[in-house]
Amino acid sequence: MLQLNYIRENRDQVIERLGIKNFKELGLVDEIIALDESRRKIQAESDAIAAEANALAKQIGDLMRQGKKDEAEEIKAKSSGYKEQTKTFTEKLASIEETLLAKIVMVPNLPHSSVPAGFGADDNEVVLENGTLPTLAEDALPHWEIASKYDIIDFELGTKITGAGFPVYKGKGARLQRALINFFLDQAAEAGYDELQVPILVNEASGFGTGQLPDKEGQMYHVGVDDLYLIPTAEVPVTNLYRDVIIKEEQFPIRHAGYTPCFRREAGSYGAHVRGLNRLHQFDKVETVQIVHPDKSYEVIEEMSLYVQGLLQQLELPYRVLRLCGGDMSFTASLTYDMEVYSAGQKRWLEVSSVSNFETYQANRLKLRFKNAAGKMQLAHTLNGSALALPRIVASLLENNQTEKGIKIPAVLVPYTGFEYID
């Protein structure tokens, strides 16, 4: 969440930047500032009463030591109301702080100055394109038909077992999944990321810490009996390892990678654009997370973008990089790059990775701090990126690599799959 002092001291800039995200509840900014003023006034009054009470307590103690018991009792009687006043102030502060928190978590992160204005995907900025778009034969198939032809992914069987959006991978399809996971993890290790294996269920505090709650509870699977949530991405448990942690400045950058299955309800997602592997309720993903010094985060997001691009280059997939406009960014991000690969069978671009800088937004929720060179506590910056999400990578590999012999596996994956073709 945004830092309260920043909102108070930069009201006009906050409203202007929230406008880039098309945030409609701009009145919240003034409500938050007014609540904060009330909180500070009550806190000042409470502190003044506490100071008076402490001064009188000292005076009473001095009088008692001097044997002036009657005078001490007289002052004690006059100060008896301080205790009740202090209790009243404490209750008022608790109430106003609860209201203030409820308001401030409704405000999204501020977009970076480089974020273009816009309302949706059509307004995103294409930063670069790489690779040649494949030209396929007239009888080329979309991936869901390829999956059926070679019996490597069974969508109907997944629907029978669970429901739509839960495919079953079979034979070489399952081995391709495993190959991609291992390839991505090995690449992350070579790039200096420490691998983690984390829980795929998290508590409410973890969901709040990274900003999924209270913003996206409708998109998360909730285990009601235990009040736990299935993770939408490994970002949630990995970043929450550092909740309520004060790290040392020399630990920067902290770099983690982890593979997990991911779960998203994707409520309201219907139609041809979500067919096959295009949008699933359960899918596999390798996630990278970095915790860095605030001075380095925008340098790091460029490095993370290049890292993901390197993976796509090794997989021989044509791709493009988008800088998301304000209206297409997540609630928590300050800057996001989306990487899209070209799906030749569908003749369209598919998002396969998002790399985001959250600045201090998550760290403030997490209370993730470090002591800077001047000895002052400061919030860290957090970043994460998909490296990579598997379903649309698999879809593009199947569609783009159709040959007369079958589906050709990129050379970099052959040591992992053990085969060169799906046939």
Co-location of 268 and 180 in the same domain:
yes
Looking at residue 350, its pLDDT comes to 97
Mean pLDDT for the stretch of residues 271-279 = 81
- Residues 251 and 360 placed together within one structural domain of the fold: yes
Q: Which carries the bigger pLDDT value, residue 49 or residue 243?
A: 243
To the question of whether residue 266 is assigned a binding role by annotation, the answer is yes
Q: Which residues contact 273 (CB under 8 A, 6 or more apart)?
A: 279
What is the rounded average pLDDT of the residues 238-262?
97
pLDDT at 267: 61
* pLDDT number for residue 115: 98
275 annotated as ligand-binding: no
Q: Residue 65's domain spans which residues?
A: 4-104
Give the pLDDT score at 270. Answer: 55
Same domain, 65 and 205: no
- Please check whether residue 115 lies inside any domain of the structure: no
User: Where does the pLDDT of residue 81 fall: very low under 50, low under 70, confident under 90, or very high at 90 and above?
Assistant: confident
Going by pLDDT thresholds of 50, 70 and 90, the confidence category of residue 51 is confident
**Same domain (yes/no): 172, 40:** no
Measured between alpha carbons, how far is 78 from 55 in angstroms, rounded to an integer? 13
Residue 233, domain member (yes or no): yes
pLDDT digits (tens, 9 = 90+) for 175-221: 999 999 999 999 999 999 999 999 999 999 999 999 999 877 788 99
Asked if residue 111 belongs to a domain, the reply is no
Choose among 365, 414, 393: nearest CA to 286. Answer: 393
Average pLDDT over residues 372-390: 96
Question: Is 353 within any annotated ligand binding site?
Answer: yes
The domain that holds 339 is classified in CATH as 3.30.930.10
Query: Are 257 and 393 in a shared domain?
Result: yes
For residues 163-182, give the mean pLDDT. Answer: 97
Q: What is the mean pLDDT of residues 14-29?
A: 97
At residue 9, φ and ψ (nearest 5 deg) are -90, -15
Segment 218-246 mean pLDDT: 96
Is 233 assigned to a binding site?
A: yes
DSSP for 205-268?
A: HHHHHTT-TTTSGGGS-EETTTTEEE-SSTHHHHHHTTTT-EE-GGGPSEEEEEEEEEE---TT
394-406 pLDDT, tens digit per residue, is 999 999 999 999 9
Q: Shortest CA distance to 123 belongs to which of 326, 319, 320, 305?
A: 326
- 354 labeled part of a ligand binding site: yes
Q: Tell me the mean pLDDT in the region 219-247.
A: 96
Instruction: Tell me the CB-side half-sphere exposure of residue 26, using CA atoms within 13 A.
Output: 14
Domain boundary (104, 130, 161) is at: 104
One domain for residues 222 and 169:
yes
Average pLDDT along the chain = 94
pLDDT at 271: 56
The predicted model scores a pTM of: 0.92
Domain identity same for 24 and 64: yes
Please report the pLDDT score of residue 266 as a whole number. 79
pLDDT of residue 74: 75
Range 224-239 average pLDDT: 97
Share of the chain above pLDDT 90, in %: 84
Residue 352 annotated as binding? yes
Measured distance CA(32)–CA(288) in Å, rounded = 34
> 114 in a domain, yes or no?
no
Tens of pLDDT, residue by residue over 338-347, are: 999 999 999 9
pLDDT per position as a tens digit, 129-143: 999 999 898 889 999
pLDDT beyond 60 at 288: yes
Give yes or no: residues 327 and 399 share one domain: yes
User: Residues 125, 100: one domain?
Assistant: no
Question: In this structure, are residues 309 and 178 in contact, taking their beta carbons and an 8 Å threshold?
Answer: no
Residue after which a domain boundary falls, among 73, 104, 135: 104
10 Å CB burial of residue 247 (0-12, 13-18, 19+) is: middle
180 and 82 in a common domain:
no
Same domain, 62 and 164: no
Q: Do residues 146 and 192 share a domain?
A: yes
Mean pLDDT computed over 289-305: 98
Is residue 89 very low, low, confident or very high in pLDDT (cuts 50, 70, 90)? confident
* Residue that wins the pLDDT comparison between 245 and 268: 245
Count of domains observed in the chain = 2
Omega of the bond leading into 388 within 30 degrees of 0 (cis)? yes
